Structure 1
Amino acid sequence: MYDPTVARLTYRALLGRRRALVLFALPALLILIAAAVRAFTGADDQVAANVLGGFALATMVPLIGVIAGTGAIGPEIDDGSIVYLLAKPVKRPTIIMTKLIVAIAVTMAFSAIPTFIAGMILNGNGQQVAVAYTVAALVASIAYSALFLLLGTVSRHAVVIGLVYALIWEALFGSLIAGARTLSVQQWALALAEKVSGEGLITSDVGLPVAAALLAGVTVGATWYAGQKLRTLTLAGEE
């Protein structure tokens, strides 16, 4: 379920000049914020949790997920170049799985690693805050990549829809409105962060068993449906 050629083409598309600028800008901003906060407030566990939860997990991770998930397949569908890939002797589920793996790898690299670095800058991993949010970023990267890859296969406006979801639902509603929190990848990931930290500093509105089930269900469901949608794309001359 992995094709090196598809992977190489997808990496090349995702790490092109425009997307790479955004991918590097968000982690750089997080680390800059962490350094500034540490300089002004010193090492404070609660402040560290607020910065990592409020910017890294609630904003940076979903935005990178949008860029990587939709960028892994959306542009190829939009400009029609996907037909050249579909003409190759590669099974369509393999194409989806390969692109998902690449999207996950890119999202993890540009979100989890900077989150850990920022956490170490903020409070030196006091109360396991840096590790907890890194774990949350890793698991959230998987779910976001699957969701936004699916979005890229079903809509030509995937980036716009993804940005609305990331900035309004996850960053705003997911943080402020109790009912929306249970339907937020951010809150599901926070359940794992809460378990890792274990000090009451990080809290989630969703229990860990439910969060784990929802993360797995969304990832598997979105990946399966993306594969089904790709199967419906036909080439000229296909029956």
Structure 2
Amino acid sequence: QDVWNTFALYVERKIPFLPWCETAQIQPESYDIANELAELNRKGFLTINSQPAVNGLPSSDKTYGWGGAGGFVYQKAYCECFCSPHHLQTLVAMVKKDRNLNIYAVNFEGRKTVEEGASESGVTALTWGVFPNREIVQPTIFDPSTFFMVWAEEAFSLWASMWMNLYDFESDSFQLIEEIRDSYFLCAIIDNEFIQCISKNKASQDPSQTSLWEKIVDASQLACEQGSLQL
């Protein structure tokens, strides 16, 4: 659980660095979900990439805006994390009960993969914008083949190159990180429901309500109560 807490502390901006994060702190758009992310990390869902859902905010918005003036921006909630096989079972069960969710997962060796959710999986836009006199702009997409074949290999390699190598080969810390790398899955979860989220009237919106983060927390709590997941 020391490793879980390390991820949580990064989200809380109490430590400056994680191997998978290019910036010294989380991006401002993640501030609205920082509490939920910290809770997920302390429950063993080790988040390395995330974004909240956004529905039609002005492109001039200080936190979520991009792409120039006069437009409106949108994004689906997305969570990328490492988790144990037991935690993965919880996520898969959650996705099977919610027609708006997709999940993709792969283990360190690349031999075990999971695809659940919408009947037709494929490349999907995670962030897009509508601007005057322009086609729809899609700066961020999710491609399952790239996730499985390219990013997963790099993401797992960072456990060794940026963390395990800090310790002596025979140390408990080295063996712990190695065990996590070898046994955990890299998961990507997409919530295709972006309507109930952060919208134009931000003052009346609570980004944690019916959010992807609450769904994951609720699923893990239920599994724990049923005895299928030990936190």
Instruction: Tell whether the structures are fold-level matches, with TM greater than 0.5.
Output: no
Between Structure 1 and Structure 2, the one with more strand by share is 2
Q: Which structure features the higher share of helix residues?
A: 1
TM score, norm. by length of structure 1: 0.30
